[in-house]
Structure 1
């Protein structure tokens, strides 16, 4: 219904605004708070992508091997993804402002030490420290946001947050390219230090403290299981394209992840105070939002993984030039993401997310048409369409996840949102990278006329093939370089077509499983209604309980409808000003 979510938001603000049945007091600092949260978020997202363009410099300056380069990049993601759920739960329990502050300090320490590192192994450790800090920062930014903004403004604030998160992936290479062109490679890390100082001071002045009012016991066993399970899963995903999907190390990593995460599910199901209540996954809005984010980041990360190589190796641009040419994606993302909240208010969350995924599929299809001699304009179109799809998908999916949970569990909900991003992105790079590598190697044709070392170099990457061609020299070398570039484009095209198919399938899936409009924490509603059957019926008609199993029964019968006999996270959370 047109304006359905806006009307629902106004009703919900009245019913559950402060957890006591009265409208929440508007914090006049909330937009300043959002700017500090977005600055903190941007550093974490950029930290995950900025180093990619610095790889050639690291090879030259600190003599990093291929294996060390891989871990310099991946150590951040591995620790970051493994700690997200635990960090989000700790923020809920002890305070999200404290989690943000601690995370920024850890991130800053890692950045400083990384900038003064003089060996690859030192840099790997420092990147892991940065990932640890990022794991505390990212869920804290989103959970603080949901506590600071009232319901009728929350979707817009989340859209701005999502726009910054999406644009950060493109801003990272641009920033790094500029710094590497003018300063020592350590500047890629030192640039974080003044920004962290601003975020810490701004956080002290503008960010309120919030936490789960119920202060439930910690779940150390669940935390340990998630760290080991998620780290094992991500390790397997990272290693699979390099060592092969059938390699013993890859299989062992996936097997360990299955066993440990299975044990985590059993433990959480039996635990009266779980870190992550698995009943959340029964809520279609929660599961639908997580699915959409996973699959759209599958396409986005896979696209950037290949496009950055296309720009440098096939088109011949410098790291800075390649980074600048990613700018259209960031610009479209940042300007269109805030408008997605208004679209969702008019047509509903389900339609917005499903349409966003379909548009992303079109953008990936356009990218699959890129050829060796394609004009840059075609890539701009692909970036613009893909960014528009991302801008429609991300904010509404994130709002869908968070609106389905109690306010006291926003830290864990934010961590789930962030974990799905990381896993989807890692899967995109692994799966699409494997498809690309297979097609690229096949299109190269027979290399039997080359020495064995040259064959391995050419098959390993298009950069290696171009180097082999330059060593051959003459017309034969030029022809080999052209063959390698066309082979790259062929592999890239096949990978992007698969990504487009996944995004389109995700669009249909979301259309089937996601409720039309935002749902809200019915436990808080049930407590606030206090027997007001007329208002309860009005909220039902607006869709407040849509997609939340047992919600109507919870309001009618006075229990949570989940078969546990207890209520968790009742209320709208607490904000100490």
Structure 2
């Protein structure tokens, strides 16, 4: 038996939050850790832009594809057990990635890491919901969301520092320290919890859902080198449509579905999930393009590129601190709509910048503040729609939308970048392959005025293609702002304010029971 405070809360809950936040930071960090290493991977592993997209996306796709199943398994067999097993698998995948010597091996290792991360993610949020009393829960979720946001923003910074000082494999070596701390600290501190009435596994639903997401991402990535009517594109999208339709039909008939279809009738859930998916799409696509643009066009080193992106991480913290005050005045609807609008403006600034770093800094600050304003309210809205015993599966669904957005961001924006660049250099004499790296190598070997002209032409083409990709990312985030303004609950419907970062000295708050259940904050 675990001791509890007088209000039923676990006395070590804040230490637990620290362990869970470290686990979360490690797995979210790996979404963007590879971005600054893409040029180096192209050189060392001979990867083209499509393979680079898959190396980045294989992690997010495996992550998203297994999350719903992982949440159900965690609810059934125990959140602590699922979290620790996931950490072990994640660490094992990192070790495999260290020794990869081909794009295929690295993709496979990233898939293993994604599978491990899928079992860590829902457990972290579900354990928080279980051990924190309702008076502190929103504050804990706010801190958890802040760590998640910081992990996304810090990925390029940490990756740039590691690649700049060591070799590209060091970005996987850094995972081993948090994994060790989580395994030891989690085994000693975390409390086991599970659903009192767990659902049986749904392997058919899991396969259909994963096939739908994989087909969608595959089809989108293939658009960079094939016509929309080609077999790779049309086939991938057809698989996604068929599997997605089958998934929804199966889940509606299944007596114990892995997807709570009732949530799909709740405007608040749809608004929160769609807005965060579109935000992650824009953010992931932006960082994928920006880190390459800084290195290929401006000539930054990986380390300098990571440092150049650092303002977004600091701005995320600022946005998280501003979130409670804005939420008090405008509710989740206003807070998220303002956040996504700011982020869309930031991406647009990055897409239109000419020369110099100041516009990059301004765009990154806008993106980071917008991200920090949006994460906690959307997460709290989703988690407050269900009772605590269903928190694992619901957290999985929320994270699935985030990871699917990440995978689509790299696929969509990266494909626009690759397609526009290939079109621009198709008729340029001396251009080689479908990547800027290959053409720059050809220009270096050519030398003289001809080589200089070829390099300048290729860099300009890449710059223009980057602007087109960032324009698509900005449009996606702007659509998310519209969705948030239309569907999220307004000022009277959310209690994220004060709880996200306010000190506990503010005292307990009374929350109105949710229409969905008694004992959860109203979204």
TM-score band (shorter)?
Answer: 0.7 to 0.9
- Counterpart among 215, 233, 241 of residue 232 in structure 1: 215
- Counterpart among 472, 475, 497 of residue 498 in structure 1: 472
- Distance across 2 between alignment mates of 1:428 and 1:64: 20
Relative distance call for 1:351 and 1:258 in structure 2 (3 A) is: same
**Is 2:451 aligned against 1:468?**
no
Structure 1 match to 2:202: 219
Structure 2 match to 1:487: 461
Structure 1 contact 285–519 (Cα < 8 Å) conserved: no
Structure 1 contact 163–338 (Cα < 8 Å) conserved: no
- Distance across 2 between alignment mates of 1:238 and 1:443: 18
**Is 2:187 aligned against 1:187?**
no
- 1:122-174 deviation per Cα after TM superposition (whole angstroms, max 9, x unaligned): 43332221111011112221222222333343333223222222232342333
Structure 1 match to 2:343: 360
Structure 2 match to 1:10: none
- 1:412-438 deviation per Cα after TM superposition (whole angstroms, max 9, x unaligned): 221122111122222223333333344
Q: Secondary structure at the match of 1:28?
A: coil
Q: Secondary structure at the match of 2:20?
A: helix
Relative distance call for 1:291 and 1:248 in structure 2 (3 A) is: same
Structure 1 contact 229–256 (Cα < 8 Å) conserved: yes
- Counterpart among 139, 159, 163 of residue 156 in structure 1: 139
Structure 2 contact 513–519 (Cα < 8 Å) conserved: no
Q: Secondary structure at the match of 1:241?
A: coil
- 1:432-479 deviation per Cα after TM superposition (whole angstroms, max 9, x unaligned): 3333344445555842xx2xxx4343xx23333333333343334333
- Distance across 1 between alignment mates of 2:46 and 2:344: 40
Superposed counterparts of 1:57-72, under 5 Å: 57-58=40-41, 69=52, 71-72=54-55
Q: Secondary structure at the match of 2:193?
A: strand
Relative distance call for 1:500 and 1:67 in structure 2 (3 A) is: closer
Superposed counterparts of 1:387-466, under 5 Å: 387-441=368-422, 443-444=424-425, 446-447=427-428, 450=429, 454-457=430-433, 460-466=434-440
**Is 2:478 aligned against 1:478?**
no
- How far apart are residue 304 of structure 1 and its match? 0.7
Q: CA RMSD in A?
A: 2.8
Unaligned runs of 5+ in 1: 1-22, 521-538, 546-550, 552-559, 561-569
- Distance across 2 between alignment mates of 1:59 and 1:427: 21
- How far apart are residue 315 of structure 1 and its match? 0.8
Q: How many residues align?
A: 500
Structure 2 contact 271–487 (Cα < 8 Å) conserved: yes
- 1:217-275 deviation per Cα after TM superposition (whole angstroms, max 9, x unaligned): 33333233223333333333344334454331232222222222222212211222211
- Distance across 1 between alignment mates of 2:208 and 2:409: 24
Superposed counterparts of 1:171-210, under 5 Å: 171-210=154-193
Structure 1 contact 363–382 (Cα < 8 Å) conserved: yes
Relative distance call for 1:422 and 1:24 in structure 2 (3 A) is: same
Relative distance call for 1:162 and 1:239 in structure 2 (3 A) is: farther
Relative distance call for 1:40 and 1:266 in structure 2 (3 A) is: same
Structure 1 match to 2:367: 386
* Structure showing greater Rg: 1
Structure 1 contact 86–223 (Cα < 8 Å) conserved: yes
- 1:305-342 deviation per Cα after TM superposition (whole angstroms, max 9, x unaligned): 11011110111011111111111111111343244134
Q: Secondary structure at the match of 1:316?
A: coil
- How far apart are residue 295 of structure 1 and its match? 0.9
- Distance across 2 between alignment mates of 1:297 and 1:413: 18
Structure 2 match to 1:336: 319
Relative distance call for 1:202 and 1:345 in structure 2 (3 A) is: farther
Structure 1 match to 2:299: 316
- How far apart are residue 104 of structure 1 and its match? 0.3
Structure 1 contact 364–496 (Cα < 8 Å) conserved: yes
Structure 1 match to 2:269: 286
- Distance across 1 between alignment mates of 2:382 and 2:349: 30
- 1:90-111 deviation per Cα after TM superposition (whole angstroms, max 9, x unaligned): 1112211111011001111111
Structure 1 contact 26–150 (Cα < 8 Å) conserved: yes
Relative distance call for 1:232 and 1:493 in structure 2 (3 A) is: closer
Structure 2 contact 78–192 (Cα < 8 Å) conserved: yes
Unaligned runs of 5+ in 2: 1-5, 495-509
**Is 2:256 aligned against 1:273?**
yes
Structure 1 match to 2:506: none
Relative distance call for 1:63 and 1:395 in structure 2 (3 A) is: same
Q: Secondary structure at the match of 1:210?
A: coil
